[in-house]
Chain A
Amino acid sequence: MTSDTLNPNPLVQALERMVLIRAYEDTLVGLHGQGRAAGTCTSVGQEASAVGVVSALAPEDLILTNHRSAGHLLARGADPGRLMAEVMGKRDGYCKGKSGSLHIASKEIGVVLTSTIVGGELALATGVALSRATLGGEGIVVCFFGDGAACEGRFHESLNLAALWNLPILYVCENNQWQAFVHRKETTLAESVVPQAAALGMDGTSVDGNDVEAVQAAAAEAVAAVRRTRKPFLLETRTYRLRGHFEPDDQSYVDPGELEHWRGRDPIALLRARLERDGRLSAAGADAIAARARAVMEQAVAFAEASPYPGAEDLTSDVYA
């Protein structure tokens, strides 16, 4: 271990988390290619959005997420081995192998009710916030959803109710320009979802989702506002899905120019370059971060592969409380 392990600079810590997320998803893609893990929706290219928002939260806050959840889970401190075990359908996965990659929730780290029905997270967040508001406590609710989910009626319904009932929700629209195999420009004329919040009497703002420093700053302000006012807030992070919708995906439908543009704005490369330029991180320090992430992944794969599959009795367990 180098001294960067203990580097107190929050941006270096953010880089470490982002590199971990990238390593995790790259590892899963590799395992899938070898037939050792099921396909997944990766968040490659969106790490700054996940880490920037989650690092602004307090332990008592709750997160809802969707099918593209690895960044949110790992940013919140999920164990990569247990995540990987879940993707492989193993007993030691966060959901005992019943979820697979698409709906991983972990109550113990405050990531609740993950739903892969697009818009499901929006519908559930209001209820989670209502129980918080009713039962007390300081915690707020953060609801991650995609630009595609904002096309569902549930988006409007959720924001309207949250605004009306003063529910403490930070809505985070991860606008990654894609909605499975359809480009955002093919589904809406609006450039941003933020004006929709304003129309419902809710504050909101849009931020460069590939700049973790900017996301952290915007998220910190938004979280503080929700905590103080107990009212909802909409934060849009403008980012890009660098890989396909669900592995494997050859991205043949993606404009190569657009992809190239966003590859040039890879949030990890941007942050690393900035830190090195400012002298806050050495090249050796950055390499050490990458090496640590690789080591964590080796352990995670070994743990997941060693974990047993669930047994036949698990087929009908957990159906009713």
Chain B
Amino acid sequence: MQTMTVTDAVSSALAEEMRRDPTVLLMGEGVATKRLPLVEAFGGARVRNTPLAEGIIAGTAAGAAATGLRPVIDLLFAPFLTYAMDEIVNSAGKLRYISGGQFAFPMVVLAQTGAGWGVGAQHNHNVEAWFVHSPGLKVVMPSNPADAKGLLKAAIRDDNPVLFFTDIGLAYADGPVPDGDAVIPLGQAAVLREGGDVTLVSYAKTVHGCVQAAARLAEAGIEAEVIDLRTLKPLDEDAILRSVRKTGRLVVVHEASRMCGVGAEIAALVAEKAFGSLRAPVVRLTGPDAPTPASFPLEQAFVPQAEAIESAARGLVQGR
């Protein structure tokens, strides 16, 4: 076991996968500057700084992925993905299907997002649901360094395009990371805490709010089950349904806006497949339908916090 940040866990996964597979390469604006040890280990041909041009970075990755390489691209901040949307969504996401299965796109797109730095709406926008809504893509959003490393390894080995979002607010937080080849399969949620009274489902930063809320609820005799989705697509429907069938109550929490967010999908899933188990309406706690403000207090107010999660869960259990 080692202690490292999410940022270092990403580097560690990249290094291990690049060592394991010579077709893996890393490209992006400043990747060679910021991950110098990777350049030293694998050379400039496999760790490439690029021009400032997200469209051509993603397009180059898609073309290379379809013809033998396994590119990882770092597009920095999630809002910049809009410049690469065509290449990711229309090319990497569709050309396999359109071609009748002739091509595959083993590529990973890295991007950071989330509140924490006060950098405002053109750097902080939780856009994961856009990609969940796009066929042919997978979407991963870890909440801690160990998951970041294990999931990135799986994402790099996956034969499909994977969007890999890391939360700015978690980037420099330390956590334990297992030694060795600890791959975490895509599509498996983690049950962080078991409980029979209410299910808290979340991913990325707000998982930590759920864990804090669950600890406080336990002091009040309410046992919350906390599920960290880790992968948003494929979605671990079984983990969600199993828990809700047990607890009968569900709070879904995410920082992204509510309408058509991942929480809406989960609420619909539970309504369709576990309606009979529900003892109360599903509650969604999400960011508002607004761009993210830069001002620190507003940025914090944007994110569902532990207090709100605790009181929502309490309300469900006490039938309020």
Q: A117-B122, A153-B56 are in contact. Are A98 and B295 (CB under 8 A)?
A: yes
Name 12 A/B residue pairs within 8 A (Cβ), A-sorted: A39-B117, A89-B294, A100-B120, A102-B294, A148-B52, A179-B51, A181-B29, A181-B33, A187-B49, A187-B50, A187-B51, A310-B297
Interface of B is mostly: loop
Could you say which of A117, A179, A310, A314 contacts B80, with CB atoms under 8 Å apart?
A117
**Complex interface: chain B residues within 8 A of A97 (CB):** 293-295, 298
Contact A180-B29, Cβ < 8 Å, known A118-B52, A186-B49? yes
The listed residue (B34, B52, B291, B297) touching A89 by CB distance below 8 A is B297
Chain A residues near B302 (CB-CB < 8 A): 315
Assembled-state Cα–Cα distance A97/B30 (Å): 29
Cβ contacts under 8 Å, B51 to chain A: 148, 151, 179, 187-188
Residues of B at under 8 Å CB distance from A? 29-30, 33-34, 49-56, 79-80, 82-83, 117-123, 288-291, 293-299, 301-302
Cross-chain contact A187 with B52 (CB below 8 angstroms): yes
Find the A residue at minimum CB distance from B293.
A98
A102 adjacent to B52 (CB under 8 Å) = no
CB neighbours of B53 from chain A (8 A) = 151-153
Instruction: List, in ascending order, chain B residues with CB within 8 A of A187's CB.
Output: 49-52
Q: How far is the CA of A187 from the CA of B53 in the complex (A)?
A: 10
Q: What mask results when residues 69 to 86 of chain A are scored 1 for a CB within 8 Å of chain B, else 0? A: 000000000000000000
Q: Give the residues in chain B near A89, CB-CB below 8 Å.
A: 118, 293-299
Q: How long is the Cα–Cα vector from A312 to B82 in the complex, in angstroms?
A: 29
Given contacts A151-B53, A179-B52, contact A315 B290 (CB under 8 A): yes
Q: How many angstroms between the C-alpha atoms of A120 and B52 in the bound complex?
A: 13
| Shortest distance from the beta carbon of A146 to any chain B beta carbon, whole Å | 8
Interface contacts beyond A97-B293, A100-B119: sample of 10 additional A-B pairs, CB < 8 Å, sorted by A? A98-B294, A98-B295, A100-B120, A116-B120, A117-B82, A181-B33, A182-B29, A187-B50, A253-B33, A315-B293
Provide the residues of chain B in CB contact with A103, threshold 8 Å: 120, 122
Verify A100–B288 contact, CB threshold 8 A: no
Which residues of A sit under 8 angstroms from B123, Cβ to Cβ? Answer: 102, 116
Binding site for B on A (CB under 8 A): 38-39, 89-90, 97-103, 115-120, 148-149, 151-153, 179-182, 186-188, 253, 309-310, 312, 314-316, 319
Min C-beta distance of A319 to chain B, whole Å: 5
Instruction: Tell me, rounded to whole Å, the shortest Cβ–Cβ distance linking B308 to chain A.
Output: 13
Q: Are B30 and A180 in contact (CB under 8 A)?
A: yes
**Chain A residues with CB under 8 A of B33:** 181-182, 253
Which chain A residue shows the least CB distance to B295?
A89
Alpha-carbon gap, A115 to B291, bound state (A): 14
Partner of B30, one of A116, A182, A309: A182
